[in-house]
Structure 1
Amino acid sequence: MASFYAMRKKPSMVAILLLLGLLFSPEHTGAQSLGVCYGGQGNANNLPTESEVVSLCTTNNIGRIRIYSPYTEILQVLRDSNIDLIVGVPNDSLQALANLSAAADWVQRNIKDYSSNVEFKYIAVGNEVNPTSETAQFVLPAMQNIYKAITDAGLQNQIKVSTAVDTNLLGVFDPPSAGAFSDNARPFIEPIISFLVSNGAPLLANIYPYFRVKYNNQPVPYALFTATEVVVHDGQLEYRNLFDALMDALYSALEKRNGGSLKIVVSESGWPSAGGAVETIENAGTYYRNLINHVKGGTPKRPAKAIETYLFALFDENLKTEEIERHFGLFYPSKQPKYNVNFN
Structure 2
Amino acid sequence: MGRRQYLLCFFLLCLITSDRGLVKGVVGLACNWGTQSTHPLQANIVVKLLKENGFNKVKLFEADPAALKALGKSGIQVMVGIPNEFLAPLASSVQVAVNWVQQNVSSYVSRYGTDIRYVAVGNEPFLQTYNDSFLNTTFPALQNIQAALIKAGLGRQVKITVPLNADVYQTESGLPSGGDFRSDIRDLMISIIKFLGDNNAPLTINIYPFLSLYADPHFPVDFAFFNGSSAPVVDGSISYTNVFEANFDTLISALEKNGFSSMPVIVGEVGWPTDGDISANKDYARRFNQALVDRINQGQGTPKRKTPPDIYLFSLTDEDAKSVRPGNFERHWGIFYYDGAIKYPLDMGNGKPLVPAKGVKYLARQWCVMSPDASISHPNLTSSVDYACSYADCTSLGYGSSCGTLDAKSNASYAFNVYYQTVDQRKDACSFSNLSTLTKIDPSQNSCRFEIMIDLGTHETTKRSFAGRNENPATVMAFISALILIICGAY
Structure 2-normalised TM-score? Answer: 0.64
CA shift at 1:232, angstroms? 1.0
CA distance in 2, matches of 1:51, 1:130: 34
Match of 1:203 in 2: 203
Contact 2:317 2:339 in 1 (8 A): no
Q: Which amino acid aligns with 1:22?
A: T
Equivalences for 1:41-60 in 2 at 5 Å? 43-60=36-53
CA distance in 2, matches of 1:334, 1:279: 19
Match of 1:312 in 2: 314
Tell whether 2:122 aligns with 1:126: yes
Tell whether 2:346 aligns with 1:337: no
Match of 1:297 in 2: 300
1:186–1:108 CA distance, 2 compared to 1 (3 A): same
CA distance in 1, matches of 2:266, 2:200: 13
- The alignment's C-alpha RMSD in Å is 2.1
CA distance in 1, matches of 2:170, 2:13: 45
Q: Identity, % of aligned pairs? A: 33
1:198–1:324 CA distance, 2 compared to 1 (3 A): same
1:67–1:209 CA distance, 2 compared to 1 (3 A): same
Contact 2:232 2:241 in 1 (8 A): yes
RCO (CA 8 Å, sep 6+): is it higher in 1 or 2?
1
Q: Deviations over 1:223-267 (max 9, x none)?
A: 111223651111111211111111000111112222222111000
Match of 1:167 in 2: 166
Q: Which amino acid aligns with 2:317?
A: F
CA distance in 1, matches of 2:212, 2:255: 20
Of 65, 70, 76, the match for 2:58: 65
1:261–1:13 CA distance, 2 compared to 1 (3 A): closer
Match of 1:103 in 2: 97
Contact 1:33 1:307 in 2 (8 A): no
Match of 1:38 in 2: 33
Query: Structure 1 runs of 4+ off > 6 angstroms?
Result: none
Of 73, 93, 100, the match for 1:80: 73
CA distance in 2, matches of 1:73, 1:284: 29
Structure 2 unmatched runs, 5+: 1-6, 350-491
CA distance in 2, matches of 1:32, 1:70: 24
Contact 1:91 1:127 in 2 (8 A): yes
Contact 1:36 1:312 in 2 (8 A): yes
1:61–1:221 CA distance, 2 compared to 1 (3 A): same
Contact 1:268 1:311 in 2 (8 A): yes
CA shift at 1:212, angstroms? 1.3
CA shift at 1:319, angstroms? 1.2
CA distance in 1, matches of 2:28, 2:244: 16
CA distance in 1, matches of 2:263, 2:150: 21
Q: Secondary structure at the match of 1:332?
A: coil
Q: Deviations over 1:155-201 (max 9, x none)?
A: 11111101000111123173111111121221331211111121111
CA shift at 1:279, angstroms? 1.1
Contact 1:196 1:202 in 2 (8 A): yes
CA distance in 1, matches of 2:197, 2:13: 32
Task: After superposing the two structures, state which structure 1 stretch, 258-267 or 14-23, moved more.
Answer: 14-23
Q: Please identify the structure whose Cα radius of gyration is greater.
A: 2
Structure 1-normalised TM-score? Answer: 0.90
CA distance in 2, matches of 1:19, 1:84: 23
Q: Secondary structure at the match of 2:283?
A: helix
1:259–1:46 CA distance, 2 compared to 1 (3 A): same
Tell whether 2:265 aligns with 1:264: yes
CA distance in 1, matches of 2:71, 2:320: 24
Match of 1:4 in 2: none
Contact 1:33 1:306 in 2 (8 A): no
Q: Secondary structure at the match of 1:171?
A: strand
Task: After superposing the two structures, state which structure 1 stretch, 291-300 or 262-271, moved more.
Answer: 291-300
Aligned residue-pair number: 329
Q: Which amino acid aligns with 1:251?
A: I
CA shift at 1:25, angstroms? 8.7
Contact 2:223 2:230 in 1 (8 A): no
1:279–1:89 CA distance, 2 compared to 1 (3 A): same
CA distance in 1, matches of 2:277, 2:26: 31
Structure 1 unmatched runs, 5+: 1-11
Q: Secondary structure at the match of 2:119?
A: strand
1:285–1:135 CA distance, 2 compared to 1 (3 A): same
CA distance in 2, matches of 1:88, 1:180: 26
CA shift at 1:14, angstroms? 5.3
CA shift at 1:34, angstroms? 2.3
Match of 1:9 in 2: none
1:15–1:144 CA distance, 2 compared to 1 (3 A): closer
